[in-house]
């Protein structure tokens, strides 16, 4: 098993320390999962992994459905032409800014309890 496959396995099992899992790793795991699975499958497995990680970190309330699905949507939309994560990341630097969703979402909408629990359109 190569390094990325091992990282995906650890992530899917929720076996990543949230304190050592920066936003860039969220984007990388989303990209790698989307390379291997359809969007619905990725959304299911990615969200489960993040929930497990939040629970493991003692902060189950940290999981946010709208942010999760919106970021996966952006990653999926921009993947064409990217042969690997390095080329993808160099072409999509804005995805490494957590505030990128504010282009489409009002901050109060993202901060709502509804957005945390279920996916909301902008």
Note the pLDDT tens digit of each residue in 10-48. 999 888 888 889 999 999 999 999 999 999 999 999 999
- pLDDT averaged over the chain? 94
Q: pTM, whole model, 2 decimals?
A: 0.93
C-alpha to C-alpha distances, 12 to 18, 52, 116, nearest whole angstrom: 13, 9, 21
Predicted confidence at residue 54, as pLDDT, reads: 92
C-alpha to C-alpha distances, 56 to 50, 84, 94, nearest whole angstrom: 10, 29, 29
């Amino acid at each position: 098993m190569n390094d990325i496959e091992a990282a995906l396995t650890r992530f899917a099992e929720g076996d990543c320390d949230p304190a050592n899992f920066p936003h860039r790793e969220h984007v990388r795991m989303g990209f790698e999962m989307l390379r291997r699975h359809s969007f619905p499958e990725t959304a299911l497995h990615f969200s489960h992994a993040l929930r497990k990680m939040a629970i493991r970190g003692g902060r189950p309330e940290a999981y946010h459905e709208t942010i999760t699905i919106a970021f996966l949507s952006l990653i999926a939309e921009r993947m064409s032409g990217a042969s690997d994560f390095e080329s993808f990341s160099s072409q999509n630097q804005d995805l490494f800014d957590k505030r990128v969703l504010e282009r489409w979402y009002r901050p109060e909408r993202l901060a709502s309890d509804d957005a945390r629990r279920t996916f909301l359109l902008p």
